[in-house]
Amino acid sequence: MPEAEERETLPGEPTVPYTPTFDTGGFESQPEPPPVALETPPSEPIPVPAQPVVVPGSYHYLKRWTFVLVVLGVSIVAAAIGLGLYYWWYQSVDKTPPDVARRVRGVAQGRSSLKSPSISLIADQGAGSR
């Protein structure tokens, strides 16, 4: 026990600050390999990648006024549902059913936002049925 009292530091604790040495020694560079000559030139021409072509088609995005109308319509429907759920929650004595309905609505909104079809697919379906 007297040994433990004589120690001023904990076991495993360094007594001096660590100062790394950056002298790692030099590495010899490897000699460059000799150039390899092509035995025969290629018998076929090297294919050139195809250039991109712009093809007129349906929009892959909504026009600004259509986007505004979609956002406005979705906001009105969401506000009506939210106010209805709030009214139901405020008037009910047992708050469990409105809370469950609110959570189901949130899960349904999140799920529908992940599974919604893109606008371009909807437009392509209409064009193919002509």
Q: Would residue 103 count as lying in a domain?
A: yes
H-only helix segments in the chain: 2-6, 64-91, 96-115, 119-128
Q: What is the DSSP letter of 50?
A: P
- Domain range enclosing 107: 64-128
Number of domains in the chain: 1
Q: Would residue 4 count as lying in a domain?
A: no
Q: What is the pLDDT of residue 119?
A: 47
Tell me the C-alpha distance between 78 and 13, whole Å: 62
Tell me the C-alpha distance between 39 and 79, whole Å: 75
Q: Would residue 32 count as lying in a domain?
A: no
Q: What is the pTM of this model?
A: 0.39
Residue numbers in the chain where pLDDT is lower than 50: 1, 119-130
Q: Would residue 59 count as lying in a domain?
A: no
Q: Would residue 117 count as lying in a domain?
A: yes
Q: Would residue 121 count as lying in a domain?
A: yes
Q: Would residue 99 count as lying in a domain?
A: yes
Q: Would residue 40 count as lying in a domain?
A: no
Q: What is the pLDDT of residue 126?
A: 46
